[in-house]
Amino acid sequence: MSAQPEMPPRTAMEHRTAMQHRTAVRVHPELRPAFEALPEFSDPYEDIEGTREGFHAMLAAVPADRTGVDSERFEIPRADGSALTVEVYRPEGGASSGGGEGAATGQDARTADGGAGRGLPAVLHFHGGGYALGRSLPGQDRTAIALCRELPAVVITVEYRLAPEHRYPAGVEDCYLALEWAAERADGLGIDPARIALAGKSAGGGLSAAVALMARDRGGPAIVHQSLCVPDLDDRVGADEAADAERTDAEGSGAEGADAEGALSTRVTTGRGVQRAWKHYLPEGMAVADAYAAAARATDLSALPPAYVLVCDLDPMRDAGLAYARRLMDAGVPVTVRNVPGAWHGFELFAPETRVAKEMTAHWTGQLRAALYPVG
């Protein structure tokens, strides 16, 4: 039998086209129109202030529907004299935070809790955005509003300090401070202190996992559930891709090949993009992240609260999320896992009306509701 002739090496453009085709085939059919309409992806850190301003302008263009929800902002003093801002969302007619320890929980809270009058469960919601952006406008956190209405629950959003101006551990310490504040003032906030959960997407999922570790290690407030949606919790994600890209750039192969990570390379988050976020979040000179920066680095995951881990098929953080879920299981922690086939990181922002997006949201919201309103 004659030997097969060697195929000539692919050019960078040919490699990228082939990768695009393979990835496009994997995109969920219902999501393909949104995928094909995705805008060109750019490095948000090139002008982080401009990126934040653009994000807020987008939010301001379509104000959130606050029907049935009230909110109130608070300033929590930090040890250095500065203040952390949190916003407390609650169903209309629920408890007023200004009522002190004797505050009534409100008819909505009593009804939702079967008449027990213990107050509503609470969700500390940590926003995503690569640890560098993603903060909602005052009173406009759509996720908090939806959870407040649908669970129902008191939802506390945390305006943690952002990188790169404030690198680790500033952001996660802010989130833990908010947890302590909420637990200490549970009565006045109309919260049942036995039903406090942590929730977040992307960087917010990473912060939720880290705060759960901190609460365990520091003997802090009890947490009944951690909801980790497409969590960014491992600083090693994308390291090989970033290194390959740097080598390609150094060898002068051209921009075509530098980002040849597949069809998503110029559209949404890739491993190289994840590495950019960690580069700006971790302190300069930190060679290895610790467990409160990247929860996947923790060596002991025992005695943590039950977890929900959601991943997306085309997300570079998928495997790290699944690995963390498996390690939680191995440590004896109850875990529910869901993968969204054919979806990329943050797809629901571009295709919110698709069945795929609605089913994903309904599933993680339902799991959070089940944790906060257990049967029996």
Q: How many CB atoms lie within 10 A of CB 153?
A: 31
- Check: CB of residue 229 under 8 Å from CB of residue 364: yes
Q: Mark whether 235 is an active-site residue.
A: no
Residues 211, 172 contacting (CB under 8 angstroms): yes
Q: Residue 305: phi, psi to the nearest 5?
A: -70, 155
Which residue in the list 108, 187, 259, 315 is annotated as catalytic? 315
Active site annotation includes 202: yes
Return all residues near 62 (Cβ < 8 A) that are at least 6 apart. Answer: none
* Token representation of residue 277: 């976020």
Nearest-angstrom CA–CA distance, 59 and 5: 56
Token pair for 281: 């979040």
- The answer for residues whose C-beta is within 8 angstroms of residue 17's C-beta and 6 or more apart is none
Do 150 and 369 contact (CB within 8 A), yes or no?
A: yes
Query: Angle at Cα 354 formed by Cα 352 and Cα 359, nearest 5°?
Result: 90
Within 10 A of 243 (CB to CB), how many other CB atoms are there? 12
Strands 83-91 and 154-158: antiparallel
Catalytic residue among 28, 127, 225, 345: 345
CA dist 43 and 256 (Å) reads 16
Q: Which of 202, 208, 227, 265 is catalytic?
A: 202
Distance from C-alpha of 249 to C-alpha of 184, rounded to nearest angstrom: 52
The type of residue at 117 is G
Q: How far apart are CA 298 and CA 217, in angstroms?
A: 11
Catalytic center residues = 202, 315, 345
